């Protein structure tokens, strides 16, 4: 019976992982901890971190689609207006978001494989790519907010020149100007008088049109002859274009910087899982 009791105590200590102290012969007691019974549980367990990363990947995929959508919307829906700007800053922010959104979809797939297979090299690559996308979106967001303060100066310096020099000579800009005047119900950069100094008017001096037909409230062939001034928009397009670009830049900045905050959690979770798996490789008896 005494041996049976000792065996039960030994088994109990073995399962609990607590140290079993043995001594004898007057020597110093020796301690030994049986770790095989320890469990991988709690808030930093591999299973819990896998669950967090799967949830993050789903949210990250949705955010990537949103970023991709904003980039495509900016480049497609506003493609005419981009040609009227003297710098490529506005277009650059959209291209950066477009690239970041495409990378998000690929990185999400890599993250799912890394988490499912618990592959440390894939996790390391996943974390690095998250950091890369984080920097791209942060830069795009910051540029958008900085450029938002400079839009008016750029338009004031260059929009009138674009109108008077490019209309009728550059097909893409001519189409963009017509679209702008029809959409915003305006005429010229600062006003309809801008067309008096345009290259288009000098080349078409034989016609009676004083402003393009896109300046008319009721558009028709030859409506820009000013025979009926009440049918012409008097206000320039600069204020309306400035307001629209500012609104779009605020959206781009908010999307870029907002999703950056989400990615911080993903990088933290992936680093924690990477370190946890390193301990798992060193001491598999813990798990």
Q: In terms of pLDDT, which residue wins out, 38 or 78?
A: 78
The region of weakest confidence among 1-10, 169-178, 195-204, 268-277 is 1-10
Predicted confidence (pLDDT) at residue 64 exceeds the cutoff of 80: yes
Taking residues 1-6, report their average pLDDT: 51
Taking residues 86-108, report their average pLDDT: 86
The region of weakest confidence among 31-40, 44-53, 187-196, 218-227 is 31-40
Taking residues 29-45, report their average pLDDT: 45
Structural domain boundaries in the chain: 2-33, 42-287
Q: How far apart are CA 46 and CA 277, in angstroms?
A: 8
Residue 43 has a pLDDT of: 58
Q: How far apart are CA 82 and CA 91, in angstroms?
A: 7
CA-CA-CA-CA torsion sign (52, 55, 61, 66): negative
Please choose, from the candidates 191, 214, 210, the residue with its C-alpha nearest in 3D space to the C-alpha of residue 200.
210
Q: In terms of pLDDT, which residue wins out, 85 or 33?
A: 85
Taking residues 56-70, report their average pLDDT: 89
Predicted confidence (pLDDT) at residue 163 exceeds the cutoff of 60: yes
Is the pTM for the entire model greater than 0.85? no
Residue 205 has a pLDDT of: 66
Neighbours of 129 (CB within 10 A): 17
Predicted confidence (pLDDT) at residue 18 exceeds the cutoff of 80: no
Joined together, the tokens standing for residue 238 give: 């600069």
Neighbours of 104 (CB within 10 A): 25
Q: How far apart are CA 165 and CA 146, in angstroms?
A: 29
Residue 108 has a pLDDT of: 92
E strands, the chain, in order: 19-22, 30-33
Residue 32 has a pLDDT of: 33
Beta-carbon contacts of 24 under 8 Å, excluding residues fewer than 6 positions away, are none
């Amino acid at each position: 019976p005494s041996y049976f009791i000792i065996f039960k105590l030994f088994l109990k200590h073995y399962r609990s992982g607590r140290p079993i102290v043995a001594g004898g012969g007057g020597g110093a007691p020796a301690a030994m901890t049986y770790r095989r019974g320890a469990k991988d549980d709690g808030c930093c367990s591999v299973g819990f971190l896998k669950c967090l990363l799967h949830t993050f990947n789903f949210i990250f995929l949705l955010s990537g689609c949103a970023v991709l959508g904003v980039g495509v919307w900016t480049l497609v829906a506003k493609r005419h207006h981009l040609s009227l700007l003297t710098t490529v800053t506005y277009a650059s922010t959209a291209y950066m978001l477009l690239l970041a959104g495409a990378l998000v979809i690929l990185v999400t797939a890599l993250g799912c494989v890394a988490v499912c297979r618990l592959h440390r090299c894939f996790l390391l690559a996943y974390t690095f790519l998250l950091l890369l996308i984080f920097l791209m979106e942060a830069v795009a967001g910051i540029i958008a907010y900085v450029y938002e303060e400079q839009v008016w100066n750029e338009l004031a310096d260059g929009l009138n020149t674009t109108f008077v020099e490019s209309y009728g000579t550059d097909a893409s800009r001519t189409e963009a100007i017509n679209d702008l005047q029809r959409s915003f119900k305006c005429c010229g950069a600062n006003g309809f008088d801008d067309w008096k100094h345009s290259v288009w008017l000098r080349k078409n001096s034989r016609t009676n049109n004083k402003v393009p037909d896109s300046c008319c409230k009721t558009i028709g062939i030859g409506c820009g002859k000013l025979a009926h001034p009440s049918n012409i928009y008097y206000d320039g397009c600069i204020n309306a274009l400035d307001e629209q670009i500012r609104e779009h830049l605020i959206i781009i900045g908010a999307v870029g910087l907002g999703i950056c905050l989400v990615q911080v959690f993903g990088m933290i979770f992936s680093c924690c899982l990477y370190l946890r798996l390193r301990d798992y490789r060193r001491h598999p008896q813990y798990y």
